[in-house]
Amino acid sequence: MINQKMKELIVMNREELIALRRKLHSEPELSFEEVNTTTFVCNYLDELGISYRKTKPTGVIAEIQGGRSGKTVALRGDMDALSVEQLNTHVPYASKVPGKMHACGHDAHTSMLLMAAKALSEIKEELPGNVRLLFQPAEEIAQGAKAMVEQGAMKGVDNVFGIHIWSQIPTNKVACSPGPSFAAADIFKVHFTGKGGHGAIPQDCIDAAVVASSFVMNVQSIVSRTIDPQNAAVLTIGKMDVGTRFNIIAENALIEGTVRTFNQETRDHIEKNITIYANNVASIYGATAKVEYIRGTQPVINDEESAQLVQQVATEAFGPNTVFDEKPTMGAEDFSFFLEKAPGSFALVGSGNPKKDTEWSHHHGNFDIDEDALVTGAELYAQYAWAYLNQ
């Protein structure tokens, strides 16, 4: 199942792989602004002689044509950075752009996929099928995968595979279990309207601050008292904007939050009940409520056969103790939009190493990766494609 030539090539090019990642890390670009990153990817693909086309406004879809006919497997690597100020500025590859940083590992994903492309292009005549390479923009705003799908990224694809560097598990461990991996992520906004007035004359007012506060305290019972405890769900209020001055009773209040779920029934139930709770709380105080519920990413559900293939590849490529049992996360991933078009799986490659200070959480200003994990990720990309096409 393992292609030894690709393994040796990736190991031999370890320093180049690290250099790719460090360049990308030092030059971060935000979602749908990855113009230079897109150009960098295209230039590297040109050197390899791999055909590609750009997507709008950023992103690249490339294709390695195998020497024999067969299926098409897609490999995805995202490219965008975050609006985060880098704190660990002592590293030689620190971000050169104030307020922007690769604080989630997408620089690693892009470089690993480029190295996998190099390895796969070396053995393309042996491939019984095609490998599509998806260099995706705008994962951090959950719009990039959808945009690529709309531009034909998944046309003719039989299976899709993605990787995320993961600081919460040890370096070089690989996690990919069948079933739920990442949650659906939705956004909701609730606007309460009361009646403003002087802070010393509350009897003539309807205090939107009190209405909103009551909603915040009560809405959690949707999860704690109306959802089966075995169906995981999170409802978080992240923002509350109410009032204009210390001695004025607020007429308006705006609450924003997120809902995370793994199945559609739970998702529908929470959406419906947020509106019910908002209207009922508002009614108690004589106020009104308006709810906006925005569905974001779908849950990432790993196909059983695909996830088992990842585990088999990881075991054969890196040893019997490589596979790690990581629980599903309530974090979100727009890789789910690719899975709507073809079966596949999404793996986590560990990069947490206390000796190298790489156990910081994703999206933190001190986030970094253990670069030893780059070789593991690049090979996992390449060997998965090889194994899938050779089934």
Active site residues: 80, 139
Contact 329, 234 (CB under 8 A): no
Question: Contact 275/192 with Cβ under 8 angstroms?
Answer: no
SS3 272: helix
- Angle, helices 304-318 vs 372-389, to 10°: value is 120
Residue with tokens 């494609």: 385
Residue from 198, 208, 177 nearest 305 by CA: 177
> Which of 309, 305, 306, 326 lies closest to 317 in space, CA to CA?
309
The token duo for 303 is 């196909």
Decide: 227 and 268 in contact? Cβ < 8 Å: no
CA distance 216 to 237: 7
For 375, half-sphere exposure in the C-beta direction (CA atoms, 13 angstrom radius) is: 15
Q: Nearest CA to 179 among 261, 260, 262?
A: 262
239-249 core/surface letters (b: 16 or more CB in 10 A; e: else):
ebebbeeeeeb
Asked if residue 214 lies in contact with residue 289, where contact means CB atoms within 8 angstroms, the answer is: no
Helical (H) or strand (E) element with 63: strand 60-65
311/317 Cα distance (integer angstroms): 10
Strand ranges in 194-324 using DSSP code E only, listed in sequence order = 197-198, 233-242, 248-249, 252-261, 288-297, 300-302
CA-nearest of 286, 275, 193, 189 to 238 is 189
Which residues on neighbouring strands pair with residue 188, listed in sequence order?
Answer: 257, 293
- C-alpha 165/C-alpha 175 separation (Å) is 10
**Do 324 and 169 form a contact (C-beta atoms < 8 A)?**
yes
